[in-house]
Amino acid sequence: MKKLCTILLALTLLTIVGCGDKSSEGTTTEPSSTSKETTKQTEKVEEKKVLKLGETGRMKDTLGEYDVTVHSFEILEEYDGTKPYFEVFIVADVTIENIGDTSLDSWSITRTRLENVERGTGTDNEGTNFPEEILPGEKVSGKIYFDNYPEGSYELIFGFALSTVSNELTWTFDVSEASNK
């Protein structure tokens, strides 16, 4: 019995010494994935550009490179014979110029979001009237419409929450700036 206790004591001591001090002295650690994600989010926020109606911003994403100008917007109770789910349609008049070397899929690049700042709500666009493809060097104008509320101020965002873009463009405007008010 005495030998068994001695063996158990020896094994316990070996286990303690073997596991020993877990200090990080002399070791290096990789940044955590949370740290890397925070850095990426910070970089994206730093690249967010805020514009006013009539100003042009440049988008760079996996689809290509293009300039976007939001000229004006209207508030409509109906658009193309459709009634809104919320109160009105906010219809933005936009020009896109393809300054890259490849054709752009307009459906993909016009996936935008309209935030109603006062309400703290946002809606993705309901549709556009852009051509399906925008060729290199081509400049096209069209409308992007959103189902929203006719009050306060708005943020129209290109590149919202997309990992495929290198930047985010935001146009800010107030309901009083509507071209039909």
Question: Structure pTM?
Answer: 0.71
Structural domain boundaries in the chain: 41-176
Choice among 2-16, 53-67, 69-83 with the minimum mean pLDDT: 2-16
Residue type, 147: D
For the domain spanning 41-176, the CATH number is 2.60.40.1240
- What local confidence, expressed as pLDDT, does residue 46 receive? 44
**Nearest 10 degrees: Cα torsion 88, 162, 170, 112:** -30
% of the chain beyond a pLDDT of 70: 70
Give the 3-state secondary structure of residue 146: strand
Each residue of 132-170: pLDDT tens digit?
Answer: 999 999 999 999 999 999 989 999 998 876 555 667 899
Each residue of 10-52: pLDDT tens digit?
Answer: 555 455 555 555 444 444 444 444 444 444 444 444 456 799 9
Q: What is the distance of C-alpha 1 from the center of its chain?
A: 70
Query: Which phi and psi (to 5°) does residue 31 adopt?
Result: -60, 145
Give the 3-state secondary structure of residue 80: coil
Average pLDDT over the chain, rounded to an integer: 79
Residue 82 has pLDDT above 70, yes or no: yes
- What local confidence, expressed as pLDDT, does residue 39 receive? 44
